[in-house]
Amino acid sequence: MKKTFEELKIAKSILKSLDDIGFKEPTPIQEQAIPKINSGTNVVGVAQTGTGKTAAYLLPLLTKLRKPEGNDPRVVILVPTRELSIQVGEDVAELTTRSELRHAAVYGGIGWTKHAEIVEPGIDILVATPGRLRDLYNNGVLSLKKVKYLVIDEADRMLDMGFMPQLRQLFDILPRKRQNLLFSATFSENVEKLAEEFLDFYEKLEVSPSATPVEEVTQLAYNVPNYRTKLNLLKYLLLDEGTFSRIIIFVKTKEHADGVYKVVKRKVEGEIRILHSNKAQSTRINAIQAFKHGEVRVLITTDVSARGMDASMVSHVINFDVPSDYENYVHRIGRTARAGNRGNAITFIAPSEEWHWKKIEELIRMEIPLQELPEGVEVVETDFDERQRQLREIDRQRKIDDPTYQGAFHQRKKKEGAKKNYSDRFKRTKKRQKRSKRTRR
């Protein structure tokens, strides 16, 4: 029988905050993790995006702290990106509205002295990116001697981003006597190595198999011949404001993000924002906040925010481009169907992306239904340059599958090169003949 938050021994002040924000019952990862964390066990939690894993560690830790104490942080939560730092910081704020616990989220992109002003008066819970934590520590702003609980959130992404050396430095600084909690969307070989290196003993909790999409997401896909037809399909879908009420559109590059934004801005009703690494940090933060609060209908983004944003009631995730990092597909579609709601994920597949799509289906152990393009969508002929790029990419994929494969594109170029070489030789011969005639004269 499912337990209640009261039965999981969450502090009364935190229970009141849970009631304020409408959390009625624990999710599976919360039900498993909270008792283990309460008992002092080191935990490795493997759970998909959107399963409530942030609250799975926050609720017991906030219960353990109970009230402010001293000036130095007792809980440090490490996250890989500034967006996620902001998000987790907001989660802490929501859960401590009835508590006097002090908290802050710090991250790169702004001067460290601004964060120094926040933490110097005293703090109990610190959410930080590794680089900013190092800045504050190295400049003598922050002491880590009182840390009793360390959380590494999004551990797989942390390792993908190359933070292992900084994690090692941090572990050398922190008190040896502490409780360690590691949470990850996947349990890769690198995550396992991290757990074994730094957690003497731990209990692994896995709510669902790694890289399996949440069940509440309805997934479908379209085969689309080219970029311009993708734009036409996107415009067609977004005209249905009733169905497509709140959408995140994922693209693979900043250039695609800008291109999609220009088209959608002209053709689609509702507030639209764009999010990628070339945008100023304040712009990115404002876009996330506006979307989270329901002020924005369409958010166009690269994978930079795939794990750094938590917004409920997202009706659709649209993968304008198929991700080549296959686990990002899981993280992308995890933006919808959160907190018990149902959601939808739609993927546009170009010919050169079909190979990647098959790999994704293998990873998630599902075959996603393909839909016919709606009659109202104009199918544009693929231009020469895009077709050449597609052929080169398809050849590259075939060579990966079969190293002996020479490639159709390669063979065409070889023939063209042979013709050119023959033509060049013929021209050189004619020139020599002309020079010879002039000499004889």
Worst-scoring range by mean pLDDT, 41-55, 77-91, 366-380, 422-436?
422-436
Closest CA to 87 of 332, 311, 309, 338: 309
Predicted confidence band of residue 83 (pLDDT cuts 50, 70, 90): confident
Written as six digits, the tokens of 245 are 């009420």
Q: Is the pLDDT of residue 413 over 80?
A: no
Q: Note the pLDDT of residue 223.
A: 98
Tokens 């790029």, located at residue: 389
Q: Note the pLDDT of residue 42.
A: 95
Q: Is the pLDDT of residue 382 over 60?
A: yes
Q: Is the pLDDT of residue 424 over 80?
A: no
In angstroms, the CA 224 to CA 222 distance is 6
Predicted confidence band of residue 430 (pLDDT cuts 50, 70, 90): low
Condensed to tens digits (0 to 9), the pLDDT of residues 226-237 reads 999 999 999 999
Share of the chain above pLDDT 90, in %: 49
Task: Return the higher-pLDDT residue of 11 and 160.
Answer: 11
Q: Note the pLDDT of residue 21.
A: 73
Q: Note the pLDDT of residue 50.
A: 63
Note whether 5 and 13 are within 8 A (CB).
Answer: no
Q: Note the pLDDT of residue 439.
A: 55
Closest CA to 360 of 323, 405, 388: 323
> What amino acid is encoded at 420 in this protein?
K
Q: Is the pLDDT of residue 432 over 80?
A: no
Give all domains of the chain, ordered by start, each with its CATH number.
Answer: 12-206 (3.40.50.300), 217-382+391-397 (3.40.50.300)
In angstroms, the CA 331 to CA 184 distance is 11
Average pLDDT on 82-101 reads 87
Q: Note the pLDDT of residue 49.
A: 63
Is 361 in a helix, a strand, or coil? helix
Q: Note the pLDDT of residue 253.
A: 81
Q: Note the pLDDT of residue 228.
A: 96
Task: Return the higher-pLDDT residue of 400 and 366.
Answer: 366
Q: Note the pLDDT of residue 426.
A: 53
Q: Note the pLDDT of residue 380.
A: 96
Average pLDDT on 84-98 reads 87
Average pLDDT on 348-360 reads 95
Q: What do you get for the CA distance between the two ends of the chain, in Å?
A: 108
Condensed to tens digits (0 to 9), the pLDDT of residues 269-327 reads 889 999 876 667 677 778 888 888 889 999 999 876 555 566 778 999 999 999 877 77
Q: Note the pLDDT of residue 135.
A: 92
Is 139 in a helix, a strand, or coil? coil
H, E, C per residue of 293-357? CCCCCEEEECHHHCCCCCCCCCCEEEECCCCCCCHHHHHHHCCCCCCCCCEEEEEEECHHHHHHH
Predicted confidence band of residue 267 (pLDDT cuts 50, 70, 90): confident
Average pLDDT on 199-205 reads 89
State the average pLDDT for the chain.
86
Strand partners, 144: none
